Amino acid sequence: MQFYTNGLGANAGDTLVTCEGLIMSQRVIWVNSATGNDGSPTFGYDREEPLQTVGAAVTVAFPGDIIVLMAGFYEVILAPIVPWEGVAIVGEGSVGGLPSCQLVNNQAAGEIFTVSAIGVEFRNIRFPPNQQANTQPKIEVTADNCRIIGCYFEGGPNDHFAQVRYSSIYETTVDYEVICNTTFISIAPTCADLPYTGVEFDGASYYLTMDGVTFDDSQFGWQWDYSFISTIGLAYFRKIGISLLHGASMNVVGVSQAGAIGWLNTQTRTGGGRVDWY
């Protein structure tokens, strides 16, 4: 058992890193892109001797560990990262109301994270537009109980797939998924440069929860008419406090002829967006 008497040492950002004290069964791994060292003999277990890259942290992590990206963290991702089950990756700090830690994809056909283990969590991380044309999502989820909390996704001209895709290609379903206090925004510069979509469910899913999620079409929107789309079907969902800005729309497809079961309420609406529910 690990007892972090002063918490994880951050002054701003996610509550996990600003808490006054933390008791956990596993360990914390700190990562600092500016001052870290992936050859550190402490494996990032000490805040004063952090690792440098997310990939190195995931390599040394065990199920249930917390990986902390220290304030201002910035990394360009060149190959997909596959976290262990129950690992939480959390960013410190904020700048202008956005997460200060950024992960930028620079692959032609690869995601930033491949989530194939249960219970992986992402908190307070910014995902800017891809640096080159990419035919994969930034986060690919093929396992149950992935939680995305307080993150910020920007879709640009090189984002040729969803920001986050849930796919049941390895399982019958992807269940108990959570997205909370997270934004998906299109920052396309022209109508000819639209990103694909914000969130796509490309597989059957049960028990999806979305709370305080914002979809923003901005000036030009997404390649799909929808910023959220389920192409196969949802069984039960709860979408609470959803903001649909600048005409953002959602498509909800049920797993059977009875349609999806659940509720959706909008908190803020601008433009002519809609919800299509089948």
Please give the chain's pLDDT, 278 residues, in tens: 777 767 677 777 787 877 777 788 889 999 999 999 997 677 899 888 999 999 999 999 999 999 999 999 999 999 999 999 999 999 999 999 999 999 999 999 999 999 999 999 999 999 999 999 999 999 999 999 999 999 999 999 999 999 999 987 655 678 899 999 999 999 999 988 999 999 998 876 778 899 999 999 999 999 988 999 987 767 788 899 999 999 999 988 765 545 678 888 999 999 888 888 87
Query: Within 10 Å of residue 193's Cβ, how many Cβ atoms?
Result: 15
Structure tokens at 214: 């914002």
pLDDT value of position 14: 82
3-class DSSP string for the chain: CEEECCCCCCCCECHHHHCCCEEECCCEEEECCCCCCCCCCCCCCECCECECCHHHHHHHCCCCCEEEECCCCEEEECCCECCCCCCEEEEECEECCEECCEEEECCCCCCCEEECCCCCEEECCEECCCCCCECCCCEEECCCCCEEECCEEEECCCECCCCEEEECCCCCCCCCCEEECCEEEECCCCCCCCCCCCEEEECCECCEEEECCEEECCCCCCCCCCCEEECCCECEEEEEEEEEECCCCEEECECCCCCCEEEEEEEEECCCCCEEEC
CA-CA distances (angstroms) from residue 259 to 144, 173, 237? 21, 16, 11
Q: How far apart are CA 198 and CA 250, in angstroms?
A: 10
Q: Which of 212, 221, 161 is nearest to 186 (CA)?
A: 221
| Distance in angstroms between the alpha carbons of the first and the last residue of the chain | 48
Structure tokens at 87: 């690992």
pLDDT value of position 1: 74
Cα–chain-centroid distance for residue 98?
14
Q: How far apart are CA 48 and CA 66, in angstroms?
A: 16
Query: Within 10 Å of residue 202's Cβ, how many Cβ atoms?
Result: 20
pTM over 0.85: yes
Structure tokens at 130: 């891809």
pLDDT value of position 207: 85
pLDDT value of position 51: 96
pLDDT value of position 39: 79
Instruction: Name the β-bridge partners of 227.
Output: none
CA-CA distances (angstroms) from residue 175 to 145, 158, 237, 256? 6, 29, 10, 16
Q: Counting beta carbons within 10 angstroms of the beta carbon of residue 263, is it exposed (0 to 12), middle (13 to 18) or buried (19 or more)?
A: exposed
